[in-house]
């Protein structure tokens, strides 16, 4: 996949899926702007990626749910590279809670980071891409919880379903500017966070038709394709990456 000296911005990329997406793109020669809310994670991620990167790697730490900070990120891309080819809204938070006791504060924070952060990153990035003859690609990270109910995740699932509808609606708004927009919905995925649960891999291996949970590389390779030139005629779509779990949906709580 030819990258043509492309520039990609990835939020929530200090660890996990976002970090692996940044790493895969950097290995392909993309110039990377890597964001995480924690400065230490941003710096550590950049240090690791630089060893294999074929392009430039810049870091910017801050809250990707804040519209003012979002504008800072896309302005950095325009200032340093004169363009922005790919924007990946990967940052998100999960705040578990029983429906009857779920607090307004937790609800609005999930919506602010997940839904609002994605919306305003798409808006700001598309504003730059609109001026480019080459257009660009937007990719949002959704979740299987947007398709199958999970206990104590009503607000989170709602925010992810909203992201998928946003991608569909933006087809109307952005196609004329040669901007495509898609989402990926990871299922159970092995990350440093999920690895802290000693039963996680065993549980999900048992109930996943393909016999294992996803790796971050599984998700990153899909993202690489969806933002590539080879996928430019794909837009408004969601791709579930869960080893077939949503097809049969056995509960992990049994």
Residue pair 90/141 in contact by the 8 Å Cβ criterion: yes
**Whether 156 is catalytic:** yes
Distance, CA of 32 to chain centre:
14
Per residue, what are the HEC states of 14-46?
A: CCHHHHHHHHHHHHCCCEEEEEECCHHHHHHHH
Token pair 């690895």 is found at 195
Catalytic residue, candidates 156, 200, 225, 253: 156
Q: How far apart are CA 114 and CA 91, in angstroms?
A: 7
Q: Which residues of 131-153 are buried (b: 16+ CB within 10 A; e: fewer)?
A: eeeebbbbbbbbbbbbbbebeeb
Q: What is the DSSP letter of 208?
A: S
245 CB-contact burial (10 Å; exposed 0-12 / middle 13-18 / buried 19+): buried
Which positions are catalytic? 156
């Amino acid at each position: 996949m030819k990258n043509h000296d492309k520039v990609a911005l990835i939020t929530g990329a200090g660890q996990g899926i976002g970090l692996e997406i940044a790493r895969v793109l950097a290995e392909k020669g993309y110039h990377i702007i890597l964001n995480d809310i924690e400065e230490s994670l941003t710096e550590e991620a950049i240090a690791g990626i630089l060893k294999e990167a074929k392009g430039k790697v810049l870091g910017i730490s801050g809250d990707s749910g804040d519209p003012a900070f979002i504008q800072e990120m896309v302005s950095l891309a325009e200032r340093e590279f004169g363009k922005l080819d790919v924007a990946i809204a990967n940052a998100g938070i999960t705040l578990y809670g029983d429906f009857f006791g779920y607090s307004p504060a937790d609800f609005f924070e999930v919506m602010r980071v997940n839904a609002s952060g994605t919306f305003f990153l798409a808006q700001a990035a598309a504003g730059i891409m609109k001026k480019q003859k080459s257009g660009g690609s937007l990719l949002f990270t959704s979740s299987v919880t947007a398709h199958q109910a999970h206990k104590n995740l009503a607000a989170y699932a709602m925010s992810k379903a909203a992201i998928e509808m946003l991608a569909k609606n933006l087809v109307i708004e952005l196609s004329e500017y040669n901007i495509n927009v898609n989402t990926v919905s990871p299922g159970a995925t092995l990350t440093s966070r999920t690895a802290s649960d000693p039963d996680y891999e065993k549980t999900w291996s048992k109930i996943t038709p393909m016999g294992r949970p996803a790796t971050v590389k599984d998700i990153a390779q899909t993202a690489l394709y969806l933002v590539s030139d080879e996928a430019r005629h794909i837009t408004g779509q969601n791709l579930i990456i869960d080893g077939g779990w949503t097809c049969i949906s056995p509960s992990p709580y049994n």
